[in-house]
Chains A and B, each alone.
Chain A
């Protein structure tokens, strides 16, 4: 079962580009795709990126995802105050004993 590691915090000023990393403990991530979620307190998490780099309809193109080897990244360009939230990477595989593994989450602060 992969363990996904994210930095606990990140920050940026309005208009900046920020990147959040997600590192896997094993090469298992190479056979899985990574999703990213945005979570605002008191609300349901929102899918931002699926299959490493695909955006669901309605998600601004300021959000982008990538994956290389055992790491994935979420990039947010043109940072806005409403982007202040918690961000989680995750792998879904319903064949695993631990079918939905989340990273620890990154708290993004817009300064």
Chain B
């Protein structure tokens, strides 16, 4: 059974760093793109970018280029999304999904507030 399990909710202050995770199981992790999707409060779904764990090739959606960093660790079948300096506008639910969106993580709520 394919599963994507994300790390738990985070509460951070502006300027802090953060790395959230998405652990995959039930399939060959290196062989499928993983996407990160943001949903801001009351808004729709936005793809932040995708990463191919096989060679760590990344494609950042234009709105998110330079704002976040995606990475993947084949040894632990885990994808990561990180921020170096959070802003209050980063407050959102973040989902990981396998390419095409057949399988999704449960979401990680990130709250950034002073």
Contacts and interface: CB of A to CB of B under 8 A. Distances in A.
A88 B44 contact: yes
A37 B103 CA distance: 11
B26 interface: no
Interface stretch (B13-21, B73-81, B82-90, B93-101): B93-101
Contacts of B105: 44
Interface residues of A, number: 25
A102 B97 CA distance: 14
A86 B39 CA distance: 12
A104 B83 CA distance: 25
Given A99-B50, A100-B47, A104-B44, A45 B101 contact: yes
Which of A37, A46, A56, A100 has the largest count of B CB atoms less than 10 A from its CB?
A: A100
Contacts of A94: 33, 50, 52, 59, 99
B106 interface: yes
Given A97-B62, A98-B62, A100-B50, A105 B45 contact: yes
Given A98-B47, A102-B45, A90 B59 contact: no
B46 interface: yes
Contacts of A35: 100-101
25 contacts: A35-B100, A35-B101, A43-B107, A44-B105, A45-B37, A45-B45, A45-B95, A45-B101, A45-B104, A46-B104, A47-B101, A50-B100, A56-B102, A88-B45, A90-B45, A92-B99, A92-B100, A92-B101, A94-B50, A94-B52, A97-B62, A98-B61, A99-B50, A101-B47, A102-B47
